[in-house]
Amino acid sequence: MGTLLGFDYGAAKIGIAVGQTVTGTATPLATLRAVGQRPDWAAIGRLIDEWQPEALVVGLPQDMDDSDTEVTAPARRFARQLEGRFRLPVHMMDERLTSREALQIAGYRPRAVEELDAIAARLILETWLSEHAH
């Protein structure tokens, strides 16, 4: 398949990672802050232009009992908007516990805390890649 971008959606910030189907690995790329309470579509568009992904993967926030959280519907809406704006396939991926794991990876360092959303996006994307390896 090639290159994919992964997204950890949040109302205030969106973490983004880039990954490769060949290696099954991903790298944190950026954390974009919302612009006027909306995703920074221009910055997302620039990343899509730069990386030319084959598809996009958006984290699906759910509680441990599979129930929706307050962010589930906005994350689904963000995924639909990505698909509509950029005409790329968008896959949803369970993101339970990725924020906790990202915090452990970051090691609670001040600079790393700024990168948490991008690290979470990396974990979301790597999970999707491992589940869809051929």
CATH of the domain at 41: 3.30.420.140
- Total domain count for the chain? 1
Q: Minimum mean pLDDT among 1-5, 63-67, 76-80: which range?
A: 63-67
What value does the mean pLDDT take over residues 58-87? 91
CA distances from 118 to 66, 67, 84, 87, 134 (A): 24, 24, 23, 23, 25
How far apart, in whole angstroms, are the C-alpha atoms of residue 95 and residue 124?
A: 6
- DSSP for residue 12: S
Is residue 58 packed enough to be buried (19+ CB in 10 Å), middle (13-18) or exposed (0-12)? Answer: buried
The range of the structural domain enclosing residue 99 comes to: 3-131
What value does the mean pLDDT take over residues 18-47? 94
Q: Check residue 13 and give its pLDDT.
A: 92
DSSP string, 43-108: HHHHHHHHH--SEEEEEE-B-TTS-B-TTHHHHHHHHHHHHHHH---EEEEE-TTHHHHHHHHHTT
Q: Check residue 47 and give its pLDDT.
A: 98
How far apart, in whole angstroms, are the C-alpha atoms of residue 15 and residue 28?
A: 8
Q: What is the dihedral of CA 80, 83, 84, 86, to 10 degrees?
A: 150
Q: Check residue 56 and give its pLDDT.
A: 98
Per-residue pLDDT tens digits for 105-128: 666 555 555 688 898 899 999 999
What value does the mean pLDDT take over residues 25-38? 93
Q: Check residue 77 and give its pLDDT.
A: 97
Cα 29 to chain centroid, rounded:
10
Is the pLDDT at 134 greater than 60? The verdict is no
